[in-house]
Amino acid sequence: MKSEELISAIEKGETKFKNIEFNVLCIIRLHYMIELNSLEFENCTFRSVTIANIKSHRSELNFHACTFHDKVLIRNCHIKKLQFSFIKKLKEIEIRNGSFDTITISSHDIPINGNITIDSLIKNDLYCSNLFLETGNLNLFYNRNKDHELDLKTFFFDSKIDRINFQSYKFGSISNFENLKINDSFFMNCNFEKITFPNTDFGKTTSFENCNFNSEAKFLKCKNLEKTHLKISKCTFAESAHFNESEFNHLEISHTSFEKKVSFDSINVNSIKLNQVTFAHGAYFDEMKINKVLDKSYLKDKSKILEWKRTLGAIKQELQKAENKIDFNRFKAYELEAHYQELDWKWKSGFIDKSILYSTKISTGYGNS
């Protein structure tokens, strides 16, 4: 079916199209959309799609179980709802310079490959749950509109996404990333309200840079001890934060402020780095497990000894504030061992301090015996 044939059918009152193959779909300034509640395509195949300059705040545009061989461009559209569900095949979706009450994108168990970019105002709900983006990027940007006080809810649960790139996005009252599996992700200049990442697999690398967490943040039971490098840099956590029972290959937090209590209880990491981190109301590290410290491999790389000493010292200080004497003594010993390895036996630089530490190590195990 050609675009002209489709428009003619819409003019005659048809709103549902099923099992049709479109070479090119192009709808621009379709005034009939103003009078339509919905326009639906089911099990249709498209070469390319361009829908632009449509303004109808009660209309819905739905694509269900469709195949897209080329680019889908939704530009400068202001409608109630845009939905892509059970996507069969994808190359690229761009949603730009528009406004929507709700956007839904899902493929369920169908793996799709391509890029999805959303750069539009979303007023109420964004659903990217049950999305299986095997390869490609999910890009989320935000056209700020100061005239709208939005209560946006975002949902990404039960999805598998290759790469996430969220920049300058203002999340609303609820953001749920439960059971999300990612290969790589980057969050920059984002504002979060209440956000949860329970049982999330952050893949190889996940970075939060210059983000504000304005309400409670939960990174609970996130599991990928083998691969995940989680980096949090230049961020502010205004309310409580929880990383309990999570597992990361490497956790790195730098130039970040936790203004309320933060908990790392029962966290399991291979390595960790804390650099210029402020714990304004204390941090809990009870039963924390750092595998490179336990097997003493943290002492092998001399170039990182100072980093380890500072990190272990910061954890030790918070354990002391929390009056956790057992773990405090344990991390005190780890810190002193790092300091011992940092020193040399030269008379003018480290001989005396290292001799004292050596005696303490032999006699008391740095105070642990």
Query: Among residues 284, 318, 338, which one ends one of the domains?
Result: 284
Along the 369 residues of the chain, how does pLDDT read in single tens digits? 887 888 788 878 888 999 999 887 777 666 556 567 889 999 999 988 999 888 888 889 999 999 999 999 999 999 999 999 999 999 999 999 999 999 999 999 899 999 999 999 999 999 999 999 999 999 999 755 555 556 789 999 999 999 999 999 989 889 999 999 999 999 999 999 999 999 999 999 999 999 999 999 999 999 999 999 999 999 999 999 999 999 999 999 999 999 999 999 999 999 999 999 999 999 999 999 999 999 999 988 988 999 999 999 999 999 999 999 889 989 988 988 887 676 644 445 454 454 554 455 554 555 554
**CB distance 193 to 214 below 8 Å:** yes
Asked if residue 339 lies in contact with residue 309, where contact means CB atoms within 8 angstroms, the answer is: yes
Closest CA to 272 of 231, 303, 233, 241: 231
Q: Which residue among 116, 149, 182 closes a domain?
A: 149
Handedness of CA 350, 353, 357, 358 (dihedral sign): positive
- Are 2 and 136 members of one domain? yes
| Model pTM score | 0.88
* Residues 25, 135 share a domain: yes
Q: Please, how many CA atoms are within 13 Å of residue 242, restricted to the half-sphere of its CB?
A: 14
Q: Do 265 and 321 sit in the same domain of this protein?
A: no
What pLDDT does residue 9 have? 84
138 and 46, same domain (yes or no): yes
**Pairing outcome for strands 112-113 and 241-242:** unpaired
What number of other Cβ atoms are within 10 A of residue 70's Cβ? 13
Q: Is residue 240 part of a domain?
A: yes
Which of 163, 157, 228 shows the shortest CA–CA distance to 198?
157
Name the domain count of the chain. Answer: 3
Helix (H, G, I), strand (E, B) or coil at 197: coil
Residue 264 lies in a domain: yes
Domain check: are 145 and 2 in the same one? yes
| Rounded distance between C-alpha atoms, residue 106 and residue 280, angstroms | 41
Cα 306–311–317 angle (5° rounding)? 125
Q: How far apart are CA 203 and CA 226, in angstroms?
A: 9
- Residues 330 and 275 grouped into a single domain: no
The pLDDT of residue 31 is 59
Q: Do 245 and 347 belong together in one domain?
A: no
Q: Which segments within 128-246 are labelled E, that is strand?
A: 132-141, 153-155, 160-167, 174-176, 181-188, 191-192, 194-196, 205-209, 212-213, 217-218, 223-233, 236-237, 241-242
Asked which of 250, 284, 318 is the last residue of a domain, the reply is 284
Q: For 113, phi and psi rounded to 5 degrees?
A: -135, 125
| 166 inside domain | no
Domain span holding position 72: 1-149
Dmax over Cα atoms in the chain, in whole Å?
Answer: 95
In a domain, 34, yes or no: yes
Query: Are 127 and 14 in the same domain?
Result: yes
CA angle, residues 147, 149, 151, in degrees to nearest 5? 145
275 and 307 fall within a common domain = no
Kind and range of the H or E run holding 112: strand 112-113
The per-residue pLDDT for 142 is: 74
pLDDT value at residue 148? 55
